[in-house]
Structure 1
Amino acid sequence: MSSTGPAISSVNSLLSEWDKGSKVVRARILADFVNRNQAKTGPELESEFAQAASLFLTRITAWLRLSYMVGTCLNLQLQALTIFLSASSGHKFLAEFLEVGGVLTLLEILGLKQAKEDDKAQALRVLMCIANSGRKYKELICESYGIRAIAECLARSRSEETQECARTALQTLAQGNPKFENQVYKGLIALLPASSPKAQQMAAQTLRIVQKIVGQANPSIVDPLVTLLKSYHLEVQFEVIELIKDLMEYDVQDQLLLSLVSALVPRKDELLKRPEILDDPSAPDLKRPLPVFIQQASAAKVIGILVKESRPIAEKLIQLRCVHNLMVAMGNEDHADSQRQASITLEYLASTFTIVNENIREAMGDVLYQLFMTNPESLYMSMNPVQADVLRSNKVNIPGIAYGME
């Protein structure tokens, strides 16, 4: 269309058809608009509508606000809005959408129980169009309680596409937004205990990025992070271990190391507690180890990674009775991977620190010590119950500050 008389007449005709049309007619108009105007600039959209594009945008936003609760053509409406709000040199459209409370409407869509997952994903894409327009727009979303709405959407969503859109939105809100970056950071920490493994993975993954932006580690990150080492999902375990490695550069290092050492010896109440997943009728009938044993093995694995990367961290862990607790884990006859991971880590410490080697030799006795040093990775397969009991009841306490481990 051009801004000639026929073009104006055509636009008037389109708007009149919209005003009088049923939802079927409006859906057809929207679908046609979306198909013909992908990636157009603001001036190109104005040209398409004979300098009256705002009249069409106003109609879309008005219909959206009236119908989003019932979901009538919601995805098409949001796709059309995305075209307007992502248009370069289309700041005017963004201002018009915000003036009518567009951000609040989008955030409300995210919280609707009846909304479809792909509608929520599209609403998140519209929010990202707004956030990508500049810092003040990110602040507007955050001031509208957007961080909480997006985080809750990520936690509750059943669709990986929607979860990925929510994760990207949270990351976007943390970048170049110093006023609210800490709120995003805390929102991601709050997601770590989510019931969805995918949400847990994404939260840990995004925390690695946002942690560097914030620059300081919040102590509240430690407990939920170490608790996630109980996860049966390897992708969650991977992100958690990578985040723990990153956090060694921050003030929470001591707190994290202490928690990891503690995780090597599950508390009695944890051993008695039956995991909820075992009572879930939809869960596969598998003989899974207790989550605390998964955590025990993972803690031994992480400690093994940390001691190999940093001698000062290794020395600190030895002072935290890590050697004693690794031996206890090696004696856990209920979980072979705990025994294997603890044995591998302890062998490295024994090979690196003479004081560790001397202490474990004395605690194990010559026969078990020789078995251990010959092949630590398969020691659990050749140990007898008496030897396992020796490991569990060891009294190794290498001198040093124990930071409350007694």
Structure 2
Amino acid sequence: MSTIKEQAAIRKVNAFLQEWDQGNNIVRSRMLAAFLRQNVGKTCPELETEFAQVASLFLARLTSWIRLTYMSGTYLGLQLKAVGVFLSASSNHRYMIEFLEVGGVLTLLEILGQKETRDEDKTEALYLLQMISNAGQKFKEFICESHGLRVIAECLVKSKAEHSQETARILLESLAHDNPKYHRQVYKSLIALLPCSSPKAQQLVLQTLRIVQEIVKTAHPSIVEPLLNLLKSSHLEVQYEALELIKDLTQYEVRDSLLKGLVALLKPTMEGIQRHEILEGEMTTMTVSLPVCVQQAAAAKAIRVLSKESPELSQDLLSLQVVHHLLYAMGNQEHTDTQRQASMALEHFVHMCPVVEEHVRKVMGATLFDVFKHNAEALYMKIDDIQADSLLSNRVDISKVLEESCD
């Protein structure tokens, strides 16, 4: 026989559920606010005690109400926070399963995919998905099987709120951990996000790719082109994260294509050069667009960092005619940072290899070379038009003597 205390608890819960069933949206929102004040942080056993061992009945009602009203968004944040009380409770496995069985994950993904959903409500939905993902492999798989990766990725790149973007990033990282069936799909989804237009999203994607790269163990070739394109970014945080990922990727099978790509960026193709006709075509000038100049400078910086960290990478770069390309970049008087970065990168190769020093001296001339040896970083301030033309037209080729002279 149940005790008097248990009977009183049952009557209290029955009255609560009856008020919920008969109440309108305003009444229910008031009840949810009270529920949050009294139950945030409680464990599963504590919630069961509070609801006379039938807390699941309230969770089911709450989930059904969300499905019926989420498109209006009126009380969505409050509703999602209330669900979070159940999903965040310790020993919550039962609630997690029940939420999935009534379509909770699909509802959260629909909320994320709806344009009208406020960013703060999207953040709450992402939090709930994060709780579900952290609950174990089968829950991660369920989110991925429900086409969650696409929805979460779109939320990351399209959201205007950094907090939502960061929460989406953490969720994608969670879905990659301990999820061997789908971690490669997470990895490819992140690569597909690299060309997005949001600098903050680009930064977060690059950060997450560094983590997921270690999980998948192998680098997909499709990562090289969009990664190198990010070197055009004028945002220093994007440039920094791109360089860090490039450094990581030199340990993988895409190393050769990455190095070739970096060296090629030092000498822009005609696609990166703009033609300007003056006086009805009588004179034509060629200028390099600013994003291409930024990319050129970033490539020179990346080459300098990589070559200083690894003698092996230095040798590989020399074999790719990096000296010729660095000299060419130093002749770009339209962008002083390109000249500065190329000069500092070239300084390393001159110090490591006598034959490089010999060829560079011939191209620069004794006077300019002495300035270079004294202060490579400030050399760009001393280059005149004639010297710049000489750098742009250099034909340095040391590939035939590398093995003999640069050991």
Same fold (TM over 0.5): yes
Partner of 1:348: 348
Q: For residues 116 and 275 of structure 2, what CA distance do their matches in structure 1 show?
A: 36
Structure 1 equivalent of residue 382 of structure 2 = 382
The one-letter amino acid of 2:269's match is: R
CA shift, 1:368, in A, is 2.1
Q: Deviations over 1:292-326 (max 9, x none)?
A: 10100110001000000011111110111111110
1:244 aligns with 2:246: yes
In structure 1, distance between residues paired with 2:358 and 2:384: 23
Higher deviation after alignment, 37-46 or 253-262? 37-46
The one-letter code matched in structure 2 to 1:342 is A
- What letter is aligned with 2:136? G
Shift of 1:269: 1.7
Supply the AA of the counterpart residue of 2:362: E
Question: What is the letter of the counterpart of residue 330 of structure 1?
Answer: M
Amino acid at match of 2:309: E
Which of 4, 7, 10 is matched with 1:8 structurally?
Answer: 10
- Structure 2 counterpart SS, 1:394: coil
Residue 221 of structure 1 pairs with residue 223 of structure 2 = yes
What does 1:235-314 correspond to in 2, within 5 Å? Answer: 235-272=237-274, 290-314=290-314
Following the alignment from structure 1 to structure 2, what is the Cα–Cα distance between the partners of residues 207 and 42? 35
Q: Which residue of 2 aligns with 1:323?
A: 323
How does 1:35-184 map onto structure 2 within 5 Å?
35-184=37-186
**Post-superposition offset of 1:72:** 2.6
The one-character-per-residue Cα deviations of 1:117-168 (angstroms, maximum 9, x if unpaired) are: 0110100110011111110000000111111111111010100100011000
Secondary structure class of the residue paired with 1:272 = strand
State the alpha-carbon separation in 2 of the partners of residues 3 and 122 from structure 1: 36
8 Å CA contact 2:60, 2:102 repeated in 1? no
Code of the aligned partner of 1:347: E
> Counterpart of 1:217 in 2: which secondary structure?
coil
Residue in 1 that maps onto 2:26: 24
Deviates more, 1:201-210 or 1:25-34: 25-34
Tell me the CA shift for residue 370 of structure 1.
1.7
Distance 1:328 1:31, change over 3 A: same
> Which whole-Å CA distance do the structure 2 matches of 1:385 and 1:343 have between them?
17
Letter aligned with residue 121 of structure 1: T
> Residues 7, 390 of structure 1: CA spacing in aligned structure 2 closer, same or farther, 3 A cutoff?
same
Distance 1:239 1:98 in 2: 36
Could you state the TM-score of these two structures normalised by the residue count of structure 1?
0.93
Q: Distance in 2 between matches of 1:5 and 1:124?
A: 39
1:361 is matched by which residue type in structure 2? R
> What do the CA deviations read for 1:49-70 (whole angstroms, capped 9, x no partner)?
1111111111100001111111
In the TM superposition, what is the alpha-carbon distance from 1:400 to its structure 2 partner? 5.2
For 1:240 and 1:3, the matched residues in 2 are separated by 63
- In structure 2, distance between residues paired with 1:263 and 1:309: 20
Listed one character per residue, the Cα deviations across residues 213-253 of structure 1 (whole Å, up to 9, x for unaligned) are 00000010100001000001111111111110011100000
1:278 corresponds to: none
Inter-partner Cα distance in structure 1 for 2:163 and 2:137 = 25
In percent, how many aligned pairs have the same letter? 55
Instruction: Sort the Cα spacing of 1:262 and 1:124 in 2 relative to 1 into closer, same or farther, 3 A.
Output: same
Are 1:321 and 1:398, in contact at CA under 8 Å, matched by a contact in 2? yes
| Count of aligned residue pairs for this structure pair | 388
Which amino acid in the other structure matches residue 369 of structure 1?
F
Amino acid at match of 1:117: D
Cα deviation for residue 90 of structure 1 reads 2.0
Unaligned runs of 5+ in 2: 277-287, 403-407
Give the Cα separation in 2 of the matches to 1:80 and 1:254.
52
- The alignment yields a C-alpha RMSD, in angstroms, of 1.7
After superposition, give the CA deviation of every residue in 1:40-90 in whole Å (9 maximum; x if it has no partner): 111110101111111111110000111111113111111111111121212
Distance 1:300 1:401 in 2: 23
Amino acid paired to 2:346? L
Please say if residues 3 and 51 of structure 1, whose CA atoms lie closer than 8 Å, have aligned partners that are also in contact.
Answer: no
Unaligned regions of 5+ residues in structure 1, if any?
275-287
For the 8 Å contact 2:112–2:125, the answer to whether it is kept is yes
1:319/1:400 contact within 8 Å kept: no
Residue 371 of structure 1 and its aligned partner are, at CA, apart by: 2.2
Between stretches 2-11 and 207-216, larger displacement belongs to: 2-11
Name the CA shift for 1:51/1:189 in 2 (closer, same or farther; >3 Å).
Answer: same
Q: Distance in 2 between matches of 1:65 and 1:151?
A: 23
